Structures are given as C-alpha cells and as structure tokens.
C-alpha cells in the first residue's frame, strides 16, 4: 500500500513537531497570563472612571494620571497578546507545513525553518512588550505611602 510507505516519514514528522507543540502549549499559558493582566487593568480603569465624578483637585489629578498609565499598560499588553498570537499561528503553520511536506513528499525544511524563526521573532517582541508593561506597572505602583518604582 502507498500509505504504508509514508508511515516512517510521518512518524519522523511527529517527532519533529513535538517541540513546536510544546512551544504552542507554553504560548497558550502565557497568553492566559497576559490576558488576565489586561483584564485587571481594564477593571481598574473602569472603577477609576466611575469614581471620577466624585473627586476634586489633587485626587482627581492622581486618578487621571493613573488612567493614563493604565491606558499605556493596556496598549503594551495588547501588543504582547498580538505578537504572541502571531507566534502561535506561525507555529501552527509550521506544524502543518511539516505534515504537508511528509504527505506530499516534498522538502519543506527551508519553509519550516523560516516559519520557526519568524515565530521566535514574534515571541521575542511579545515578551519585550510584556516586560515593558511590567515596568510601567511597577514604576507607578504605590503601596501605602511607599512608592518603589524602578
């Protein structure tokens, strides 16, 4: 049978696809962390906006500054989510390319390599965006009267 001739190459592709699948799992977990941070920032911004009407002078100015920081954090978090999602999609394309190459019996090494490199670039940009959001959050953190910053 023709399919039986492809079994060893398909088994090899499954072995090659395991590392990208683990990476995909890690990216999924990381996306959960990032989206949770975004949800918390959005909730805080909504609470502040709700309270703005009752604030005057200095507390109003502090609330407006915090809203500005929350807005910047949300933009950086959105960039991180976008880049990590692009990374996950590129990993999916890579896995599909590996299996397509095995089924069609064509050399996809260059395409798979480029997809992986592009995925790593997207992941790196996503992680740097996340790091920037963390720096914004901790730089404007105030616990009691202590403001640690960076």
What residues does each domain of the chain span?
2-139
Please state, in angstroms and rounded to a whole number, the distance separating the CA atoms of residues 150 and 148.
7
Residue 150's pLDDT is 45
Long-range contacts: 109-116, Cβ < 8 Å, 24+? 115/90, 115/91, 116/20, 116/90, 116/91
Q: How far apart are CA 40 and CA 130, in angstroms?
A: 14
Alpha carbons 56 and 147: distance in angstroms, whole number: 22
CA atoms within 13 A on the CB side of 97: 17
Pick 139 or 36 by higher pLDDT: 36
pLDDT of residue 147: 56
* pLDDT band per the 50, 70, 90 thresholds, residue 144: low
Q: Annotate 129-144 with b (16+ C-beta within 10 A) or e (fewer).
A: bbebbbebbeebeeee
Calpha distance 58→49 (Å, rounded): 15
- Give the tens place of pLDDT for each residue, 83-135: 999 999 999 999 999 988 888 888 999 999 999 999 999 999 999 999 999 99
The mean pLDDT value for 60-76 works out to: 89
Residue 70, pLDDT > 80, answer yes
More confident: 60 or 18: 18
Cβ atoms of 41 and 78 closer than 8 Å = no
Judge whether residue 73 has pLDDT over 70: yes
């Amino acid at each position: 049978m023709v399919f039986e001739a492809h079994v060893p190459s398909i088994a090899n592709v499954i072995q090659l696809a395991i590392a990208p699948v683990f990476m995909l799992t890690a990216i999924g977990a990381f996306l959960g962390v990032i989206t949770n941070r975004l949800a918390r920032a959005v909730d805080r911004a909504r609470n502040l906006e709700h309270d703005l009407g009752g604030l005057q002078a200095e507390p109003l100015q502090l609330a407006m500054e915090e809203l500005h920081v929350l807005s910047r954090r949300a933009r950086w978090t959105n960039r991180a989510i976008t880049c990590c999602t692009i990374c996950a999609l590129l990993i999916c394309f890579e896995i599909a390319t590996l299996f397509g190459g095995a089924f069609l019996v064509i050399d996809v090494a260059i395409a798979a390599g480029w997809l992986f490199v592009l995925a790593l670039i997207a992941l790196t940009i996503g992680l740097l965006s996340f790091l920037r959001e963390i720096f914004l959050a901790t730089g404007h953190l105030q616990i009691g009267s202590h403001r640690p910053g960076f």
